[in-house]
Chain A
Amino acid sequence: MSKNKPGRDDRRGIHAVDPQSYPKQRQELSLWFFCGILLLSYGLILIVHGIYERFGHQPATVLAALHPTLWWGILLAAGGAFYTLRFRPRSR
């Protein structure tokens, strides 16, 4: 799990190695990448379900006419997509 920026002092020394000497070293996944993936997945699921609700399958909940599932799904998907792309693993 990469928390330190490359080049910053690291007690375990995993970033102290010369990147050129390990060209195929595995890039550790960022915690924020996990957050992004989770939010993006949930956002997409909610969008799909929200669209389904728009076509005559509105749930019997209070304020369902505002389509909260769809709007919340769009918001989560947008935030999740940002974090997924921003912290995606890149080859060194």
Chain B
Amino acid sequence: MPVVVNPALILFETHLTTLAPTDILILALYFVLVIFIGFYVKGSTNTSEEFFLAGREMSAWIAGLSFVSANLGSLELMGWAGAAYQYGILATHWYWIGAIPAMLFLGIVMMPFYYISKTHSVPGYLHLRFGEGTRALSAVSFALMTILMSGVNMYAMAVVMQTVLGWNITFSIWVGAGTVALYVMLGGLRSAIINEVLQFVLIWAGAAMVPILGLMEAHGWNNLKAQIATNVGNANYTHLWSTLGHFKDNPMGVHWTGIVFGLSCVISFGYWTTDFLVVQRVLSANNLRAARMAPVIGAAFKMAVPLIVILPGLIALGLHNADGSVVYHLVPASVAKGTGQHSYDDVLPLLLIRYCGPGLLGLGITALVAGFMSGMAGNVSAFSTVWTYDIYGAFFNKKASDQHYVSMGRWSTVVGMLISIGTAYLVMNADSIMDYVQALFSFFIAPLFGTVILGMLWKRTTKAGGFWGLLAGTVASIGMFAWVHADASALRYIAMSPDAQPMAENLYRALWSWLICVGVTIAVSLVTKPTPIEALTGLVYGATALPDDGATSLWQKPTFWAAVVLVVFLIVNIALF
């Protein structure tokens, strides 16, 4: 794969601010602690179960926070703050309807099957349910996706360091990648999970001052909404649902069907229930009840993340100077490269500099670095597991010792990180980080969700049906992506409207690829020989006696807390309708 480096970026010298000694001390403390944790847990990661699944001994709280934190990478912090500036409060859908129902579904419906099957990975579940072919397809596509995602995280971190501090982009990439590779290689998933929880706490400690001070400057939420309406000329940027009746009525150019069916029912369910990066965290839980509670706890915290990601974007959109002119005029990254203006993705660093002096700035920058490193660690630890169990152990060396697989896990962490570094340089030429990530999601995640959900809930699904459905969905997704990139007018057919914008393309492409996967799976299953019911025990609803999770009171029941989260979710959506 050719790696093209933009020399202008490497030699870029201008920057927004510099770190004071206090800031450097804060950043250095963080690096020292995460590396210490890597060395500290190395002694307790000797077996493959300990290295790849953290010994399956995490509590619900730790697994739940890690579940959310593994997702707090560049996409979350930089991308969605920029998206909030660009599209307004509609970006919140990616946190609420685009996450909460799926996370609750994972905990309540799907987790028992993942957990009692004792699988090491999602491709591992597919192996048990559909055989080697489906596992291979899923494992290879997942490994590819995680490496690319890790590269995206790495690149995003380097851009932040360059934009804010003027650090050389190559220096940032290698320091971030080296640190993550070291602590994941030493402590495996255990080390990654501990650091992810630490990073989650740090992200809140470092980023919370921006929305707090931003709301104080804007004189409260109601004034901020009024200021946004004045700055952009309409009130469409602060409504979650009321502008989704037509593609033309909202800044994102999407329709509510795309949000509900494309984003929520397909992309989000696909990501949160079948992406091994996040599911791996829950598989590390120490019992079934903890495994079911972890996604519920994660959902509760996920609902609060827009406060530190979406709200800053809205604050930047609503701020104005004393003469009434807007404070920030941000542009797309492609334009910013040519004009030297700030891009949408710069919104969070710009606000950090606006509100945070020495000390607080260091904490905010450390929070951003922690978020990016969390994303990288999540990807590389998941890659290491899938490579070792589902590719190397399944197809190249089936009978190696447990120690050999642990060693392979450590080395694949390093190699995976090196490939990610190559990817980071490649991403420099992508116009938008967000488009890149969205495209990846719909290539693999949407069809995979179709395969897993049919395999888990429908006994009649056969091995051939699972394989051909997954293949057809993935190929269809890539085909639609290529079609629209070759001919932009094709978007009207994918999204079924001439007014659709690129974001709508991602949602509808995911929906179509899922439907194609499900359709092919059902059709092929119905014409092939059914799998004997005894072979489905522990894998499929209706063929499995679900064990009691041990809850003895209402307060211990995951379903009760899932209902509480769901009620809060409905209230906030109605309040911002």
Contact = CB atoms under 8 A, between A and B. Distances in A.
B501 interface: no
Contacts of B217: 62-63
Contacts of B35: none
Interface string A58-86: 11111110101100110010000000000
Given A63-B355, A64-B357, A3 B363 contact: no
Given A11-B55, A68-B209, A31 B360 contact: no
Interface string B204-228: 0100010011001100000000000
A1 B318 CA distance: 45
A38 to B, nearest CB: 6
A49 interface: yes
Contacts of B29: 38, 41-42
Contact of B33 (A38, A60, A63): A38
B357 A59 contact: yes
Given A38-B30, A45-B25, A63-B217, A4 B286 contact: yes
B360 A72 contact: yes
A31 B41 contact: no
Chain A: interface size category: 20 to 34
A50 B202 CA distance: 19
Most chain B Cβ neighbours within 10 Å, of A11, A29, A72: A72
B418 to A, nearest CB: 28
B194 interface: yes
Interface in A4-35: 4, 10-12, 28-29, 31, 34-35
Given A39-B201, A49-B22, A11 B357 contact: no
Interface of B: 22, 25-26, 29-30, 33, 37, 40-41, 44, 50, 55-59, 62, 190, 194, 197-198, 201-202, 205, 209, 212-213, 216-217, 286, 353-360, 363
20 contacts: A1-B41, A1-B44, A1-B194, A3-B286, A10-B57, A29-B40, A34-B198, A35-B197, A35-B198, A42-B363, A45-B25, A60-B357, A61-B357, A62-B354, A62-B355, A63-B213, A66-B216, A69-B357, A69-B359, A69-B360
